[in-house]
Structure 1
Amino acid sequence: MVRWLVLLLMLLPHTGGTLPPIEEPKWKEIEHGLASWYGTRYIGRLTASGTTYTGRGFTVAHRTRPFGSLVRLSLGSGKFVVAVVTDRGPYCEYVGSYFYSCKQRRIVDVSERVAEELGFK
């Protein structure tokens, strides 16, 4: 048994031992719309996925994407950020007496860090 194990270990380096090339993920769906970023009032709160929002992670809230999904966000300038879905939203909210109809317009809420990286915070 030991002899076979030694032979196997000697042959391993000669089996090509290279990993397959890492492929760029193929993004399945493209959505176009507005994004907003979470304010600092959400720091420390639990997200819908059960993680704590810090504002510094590469995270987003999306209405339908499964938690843990990766999304690629771009403003069309060529610069992009890849983030993970950890929360649900964006949701509509009242600002004073004005109802902000975000359902038709905003498709994602991003963390403060993502907004900074994309340059809209």
Structure 2
Amino acid sequence: MISGARLALFALAAAACVTASGVEARSAVRAQAGVASWYGPGFHGRTTANGERFNTHALTAAHRTLPFGTKVRVTNNSNGRSVVVRINDRGPYAGGRVIDLSNASARSIGLSGLAKVSLARM
């Protein structure tokens, strides 16, 4: 049988493990790097994955897993320019890419095709 003091210590240790792993999981989502692309002309006015109309002139983006409404700072690694976008769609569907930017978002960081970027969740 476990004494009350030992049980309390065990519970405290278990809580510390859960908290530590939760912090690690959150920080892993906070920063990401990879290739960004942009999408727009053929999708303008269509419904996004979160149900709103896609506006190629808005500072929005598509990400595979971040919750809708999440704000992300996207930094173009080649020129240091950055923009804060709101996730409102799912994608990118092309392999090896981490985010799809609206035309306005891409232009604001000097992206005209593909670029290596860093993402930071706000």
TM range (shorter): 0.5 to 0.7
Deviations 1:10-61 (A, max 9, x none): xxxxxxxxxxxxxxxxxx6111111110130000100001110110000000
Find 1:118's aligned residue among 105, 109, 114.
109
Identify, as 1 or 2, the structure richer in strand.
Answer: 2
Give 1:1-121 correspondences, 5 Å limit: 29-76=30-77, 77-91=79-93, 102-103=94-95, 105-121=96-112
Please provide the CA RMSD for this pair. 1.8
How big is the shift at 1:112?
A: 0.3
SS in 1 for 2:33: coil
SS in 2 for 1:31: strand
SS in 2 for 1:85: strand
SS in 2 for 1:115: helix
Structure 2 CA distance, aligned partners of 1:55 and 1:40? Answer: 7
Q: Percent identity?
A: 41
Q: Which has the higher contact order (CA 8 A, sep 6+)?
A: 2
Question: Which one has a bigger Cα radius of gyration?
Answer: 1
Identify, as 1 or 2, the structure richer in helix.
Answer: 2
Q: How many residues align?
A: 85
Structure 2: state its 5+ residue gaps. 1-28, 113-122
Q: TM-score, normalised by structure 1?
A: 0.65
Structure 1: state its 5+ residue gaps. 1-27, 92-101
Q: TM-score, normalised by structure 2?
A: 0.65
